[in-house]
Amino acid sequence: GLVASGNGDSLRETAATRKIHETGRWLLLAGVCLQLAVFTVFTVLALTVKFGVKFVYAGTGKFTAVFACLFGTIVCEYVRQIFRVVVYAQGLKGFLATHKRFGVYGFDFAPLLACGLLFCCPHYGWWLGPIAARRATLQQQSVSTSSSRAVLVQDASESADI
């Protein structure tokens, strides 16, 4: 009586709510599978950049730590995404959903922790400072070269006026 009047009656499972829950579970499963597919496309693009002939990274050893961090993160995220697909496929009463310490801590939190630790060590931001400094030096050299050309052109035009 008291629980039902406090909208707790909506928690009771009926045939209609069971169908809605089943539809929601399949939508979640489809969304996680779509996310896994998009992540696979990202993985193919990352491998193409690292090992593709068009890019200067293949065989040069440039950004090796950054790519190792990226590929380690990809492996951890694949473990996590596959875990989520299995959990949603089993439903809320499946083995992984009911054994929290095994599922949530082992396959959901541990990959995230590993990714966080991976990005603490070889962070790509460490390479941005030297690259930005080199780019600024090259731009200054380019500006000084173009300004000296402009002075030469101006001198030549003034001498032609004489």
Write the pLDDT tens digit of every residue in 79-90: 888 888 888 888
Residue 145 reports pLDDT greater than 50: yes
Alpha-carbon torsion, ordered 27, 33, 35, 36, to 10 deg: 170
Structure tokens at 157: 């035009």
Asked if residues 90 and 96 have their Cβ atoms less than 8 Å apart, the reply is yes
pLDDT band at 37 (very low <50, low <70, confident <90, very high): very high
Q: Among 63, 36, 40, 32, which Cα is nearest to 50's?
A: 63
Cα distance between residue 65 and residue 130, in whole Å: 16
